[in-house]
Amino acid sequence: MSILVNDLKEKWEALKAENPHVRIRNAAEQLGVSEAELLLTNVGEGVTVLKADFPGILTEAEQLGKVMALTRNDECVHERKGTYQNGDFSSPHAQLFVGEDIDLRIFLNHWRFAFAVVEGDKKSLQFFGKDGLALHKIYLTKNSNEEAFDAIVEKFKDEDQNQAFTFEAAAPKQAEKPDAEIDVEGFKKAWTELKDTHDFFMMTRKYGVSRTQALRLAPEGFAKKIDNAKVVNILEDASEKNTPIMVFVGNRGIIQIHTGNVKKTLWHQQWFNIMDPDFNLHLDVTKIAEAWIVKKPTEDGEVTAIEVFNKEGDFIVQFFGKRKPGIPELQEWKDLVAALEQ
C-alpha cells in the first residue's frame, strides 16, 4: 500500500471514529476524494478489484437471485429489490435489464471500474465511472445466492489487486446555446409531431437545446413549471389514491426504473422518502431547482411526466403514470397531474 493510500485510509478511519454512521459517498466528499479512492484503501480487507468486464459480471448477476439494485445521483437515491433478468448487451449505445422488478437502461461507455465489497454481513458489487463516482451497486439480500456471489468474485477477480488506479475528471457539460441561435419554430413543430417519448432526447440533440431550455421553449400547453413542493404532493397523492407510477432516477452511467404502487411515505430532515418493502426512494428536496409538468404526444395518446432538475439543469428524478407501449396513459395519473396545475 502506497504512503498516499495509507494516509487516506487513516483519515477515513478517523472520520468513521468521529462519525460512525457516515456514508462512504459523504465521507469521500468531506475528504476531497472519490468514493472509489476510499474503497481502494481496503483492497484485500473486504474489497476485491474486479476486471472491467461489465457485460460478463452483470450477466452473471442474474444468478444472484433477489438482490437490491441501487442507483443514485447527488440529490436522489433509488433502491429496488428484485432479480436481474433479460440482460441485453447487444446495442453499443444502451444496454438493458427488463424485468418486473429490476428495470435498467445502462450506458457502459461511462463505466470504468468494478469492485466486490464485503462489509460485515453486507456483500455487494459496485461499479464506478472514470472519475471514481459510484454509478450502480448490487447488494445481496437475505434471499440472495451467496455462492453465486463468491463465484462471480472468483471468476472476475483481477490478477493485479495492487495496481495503480488513475482517475480523471468527467468531461465538463456543454454550455447552453443562446435561445436566439435555436430554430424555435422548427423545434416546437417537431415536438407536436412526436410519435414516441423515446424520440424526445434525439429531438433535443437535433435542435441543440438543453433539457430545461427545451421546456422553456416548448410549444404552448406542453410544458408548465410548477412549485417545487408539488413534487412531494404527487407522491403523497399517488400513495393515497393507490395510483401505480413509474419512477426514473439516474446518472450518466445508468437509469433505474420502478414501476408500481408506492405506499409508505415519510420525511426525515430534508429528505422525502418512500419506504416500501421492495422499493425505497430518498429525495433531498432542498436540492430541487426546477420542477415541470411535461406532455409529449405519442401514437398511444399524450404522455405526461413530472420532471425534476437540480441547479445545473441535470435530471434528479422523473415520474410517469404506469404505462406500456400500445396502452394509453392511466386516467388516474392524468387526474393527479391536473390537480397540480390548479
Q: What is the pTM of this model?
A: 0.94
In the predicted model, is pLDDT for residue 1 greater than 50? no
Q: How far apart are CA 37 and CA 160, in angstroms?
A: 16
Residues 121 and 244 in one domain: no
Phi, psi of 262 (to 5 degrees): -120, 135
Residues 233 and 294 in one domain: yes
Say if 174 falls within a structural domain: no
Residues 146 and 250 in one domain: no
Q: How far apart are CA 65 and CA 84, in angstroms?
A: 8
What CATH number does the domain containing 12 carry?
3.40.1570.10
Residues 264-284: pLDDT tens digits?
999 999 999 999 999 999 999
Average pLDDT in the chain = 94
* SS3 at position 252: coil
Residues 134 and 227 in one domain: no
Listed residue (42, 251, 285) closest to 131, CA to CA: 251
Residues 196 and 294 in one domain: yes
Give the confidence band of 4 by pLDDT, cuts at 50, 70, 90: low
Residues 209-223: pLDDT tens digits?
999 999 999 999 999
The pLDDT of residue 65: 97
Say if 294 falls within a structural domain: yes
Residues 150 and 184 in one domain: no
The structural domain count of the chain equals 2
Say if 273 falls within a structural domain: no
- Parent domain of 225: 179-264+282-341
DSSP track, 16-37: HHH-TT--HHHHHHHHTS-HHH
* SS3 at position 250: strand
Cross-strand partners of 69: 80, 138
Q: What is the DSSP letter of 91?
A: -
Q: How far apart are CA 81 and CA 94, in angstroms?
A: 22
Give the confidence band of 23 by pLDDT, cuts at 50, 70, 90: confident
**Is 37 in contact with 28 (CB distance < 8 Å)?**
yes
Q: How far apart are CA 171 and CA 110, in angstroms?
A: 11
